[in-house]
Amino acid sequence: MRSADVRPLAAWVDAQPPWSDLPFIILTHRSDGRQLHQEIPRLSELLGNVTLLERPFHPLTFMSVAKSAHKGRRRQYEARARIEELRESEETLERRVAERTAELKSAHAMAIAEMAQRQAAEDKLRQLQKMEMIGQLTGGVAHDFNNLLMAVIGNLDLLRKRIPPEPKFMRLIDGAMQGAQRGAALTQRLLAFARRQDLKVEPTDLAQLLRGMGDLIERSIGGQIVLKMVVPDTLPRVLVDANQIELAILNLVVNARDAMPGGGDLKIEVDVAEPVEQAEFSTDTYVRLTVEDNGVGMDAETLKKATEPFFSTKELGKGTGLGLSMTHGLARQLGGALRLHSEAGRGTRAELWLPATEMSVAEHAVAPQAAAPKTESKITILIVDDDALISMSTALMVEDLGHEVLEVNSGNQALDILRNERRVDLLITDFSMPKMNGEQLARAAKEIQPDLPVLLATGYAELPEGTDSSLPRIGKPFLQEQLAAAIAEVLATRPGA
Ligand SMILES: Nc1ncnc2c1ncn2[C@@H]1O[C@H](COP(=O)(O)OP(=O)(O)OP(=O)(O)O)[C@@H](O)[C@H]1O
Ligand SMILES: [Mg+2]
């Protein structure tokens, strides 16, 4: 090595991995003496693990030096193996940690998605419960209001006949009457929302109904809106109250018009559809009426609230906010649904789903009603209403018609009168009364006096399932002439009349 360039070798030694320290055995010669003194420290420095062996040496010496160098090297290899093992296990660990982290992440994402789903379901349920509660509340208030209006309208009706026919007085009474009638119309809409409307349900051809409304719709939307109607020639009939459905359609049309102040396209379409979400629906086939506009649309918040009663974004005096709520209530009462799709700036699609029926008009028709003859003779009428204000106003109307009146405020009082053999020709009773309702009273009364005609006065469709719906009914509030006609009709269809 004396004359050799040791730099490449030194570079290799430097570049050894941490576990490696290659042993060198350098053979020297005694005659190298002086130079050796200078060379040895330099070589040791450069090569590190150096053993010097001076010649001549005994072969055994050489063997033992070589052996121990080799042993040292083997140890280094063992160290290398251990280090590698360690690294591998570290890698596995890291991989495991990474895998586990990924698993946790996906589980977390799933949990979050599930939570969001549950939240959405809960929101929907809460919204439904809220609407249900508002419905009950509104229904209750509307019912009481209807009764009060009954008293107002009834008494005004009588008053009009009794005061001197001076135009000044008549105007006052007419004003009061108009106000009361408007109130009655409002309570009707509230009752519609509360699904407690008294509906006259008949198999109806929606296509025919829509064609009949063409003019009315054209007139309501004005000249700037282009109307397109897609109505098939034949459609299954739907079991609905045609008047109420017309009102609902008109409401949707007016909403669309208001959403397109600068004009736009209005499309009204009727088709047959099978519901996708079964839960809400009970029948397989529905007739779907779609009213679609490309007006201002609604954002998510407005859309959510649109069917709530009194929710309106229209300026004061323009909208009562009852249009969609009554349409929604009507659809539900008829076994269908109102579906709204809308996006701000994109327009709105309102769908009215109504269950199709196979009934033909003839099947549903009830026996033609006899023309109401005037009741000439004086009869005795028993009037029952738990609200004294109502029973009194009805009694006054009946008295004014020239009949004799017995007026009581409960079913039991009415039965007492009948049991005491008072001759009664007609029973007019309210339906919803505490303890004994009108229908129960009618049944009990007929046990005492089997041929007794009964007229049921109802403010709304409060008659629960299974009620004897064949009883003649009159809707509150009513005018005297309506009551007179109803009385005449009941008496005319009485057995043996
Ligand atoms: N086609 C539509 N485009 C945009 N927004 C609509 C549409 N229909 C309804 N809305 C929104 O829903 C609200 C409630 O409608 P709804 O018909 O119940 O009440 P209204 O039209 O405000 O008043 P009312 O119908 O009692 O006169 C509206 O005020 C409006 O904000
Ligand atoms: Mg409206």
| Residue 119, H or E segment | helix 59-162
Nearest ligand to residue 291 Cα? 1
Confidence grade of residue 116 (pLDDT, cut at 50, 70, 90): very high
- Range 54-81 average pLDDT: 93
pLDDT, tens only, 262-293: 999 999 999 998 877 655 666 778 999 999 99
Atom of ligand 1 nearest to the CA of 350: 1
| 3 state SS of 288 | strand
Domain locations in the chain as residue ranges: 202-364, 380-492
Instruction: Kindly report the CATH class assigned to 380-492.
Output: alpha beta
C-alpha 314 – ligand 2 centre gap (Å): 9
C-alpha 389 – ligand 2 centre gap (Å): 34
Cβ–ligand 1 distance for 264 under 6 Å, the answer no
Nearest ligand to residue 321 Cα? 1
Cβ–ligand 1 distance for 346 under 6 Å, the answer no
C-alpha 350 – ligand 2 centre gap (Å): 12
Whose C-alpha lies nearest to ligand 1, atom 4? 297
Distance CA 478, CA 480 (A): 7
Whose C-alpha lies nearest to ligand 1, atom 29? 312
Confidence grade of residue 376 (pLDDT, cut at 50, 70, 90): low
Atom of ligand 1 nearest to the CA of 324: 18
Confidence grade of residue 126 (pLDDT, cut at 50, 70, 90): confident
Whose C-alpha lies nearest to ligand 1, atom 20? 321
C-alpha 344 – ligand 1 centre gap (Å): 13
More confident site: 131 or 487: 487
Cβ–ligand 1 distance for 256 under 6 Å, the answer yes
Q: Say yes or no to pLDDT of 183 above 90.
A: no
Per-residue pLDDT at 466: 56
C-alpha 324 – ligand 1 centre gap (Å): 7
* Identity of residue 238: V
> Do the domains 380-492 and 202-364 match in fold?
no
Q: Residue 84: how many CB atoms within 10 A of its CB?
A: 11
Distance CA 183, CA 175 (A): 12
pLDDT, tens only, 73-93: 999 999 999 999 999 999 999
C-alpha 249 – ligand 1 centre gap (Å): 13
Mean of the per-residue pLDDT values of the chain: 86
Query: Which residues, listed in sequence order, are joined to residue 356 by a DSSP beta bridge?
Result: 238
Whose C-alpha lies nearest to ligand 1, atom 25? 323
pLDDT, tens only, 394-435: 998 999 899 999 999 999 999 999 998 778 999 999 988 889
Confidence grade of residue 137 (pLDDT, cut at 50, 70, 90): confident
More confident site: 474 or 289: 289
Q: Say yes or no to pLDDT of 122 above 50.
A: yes
Confidence grade of residue 366 (pLDDT, cut at 50, 70, 90): very low
Cβ–ligand 1 distance for 252 under 6 Å, the answer no
| 3 state SS of 213 | helix
Whose C-alpha lies nearest to ligand 1, atom 1? 256
Burial class for 167, CB neighbours closer than 10 Å (0-12, 13-18, 19+): exposed
Confidence grade of residue 359 (pLDDT, cut at 50, 70, 90): low
Q: Say yes or no to pLDDT of 25 above 80.
A: yes
The domain 202-364 having CATH identifier 3.30.70.870: the answer here is no
Q: Please give the DSSP secondary-structure letter assigned to residue 348.
A: E
Per-residue pLDDT at 190: 80
Is-contact 372 457, C-beta < 8 A? no
C-alpha 366 – ligand 1 centre gap (Å): 38
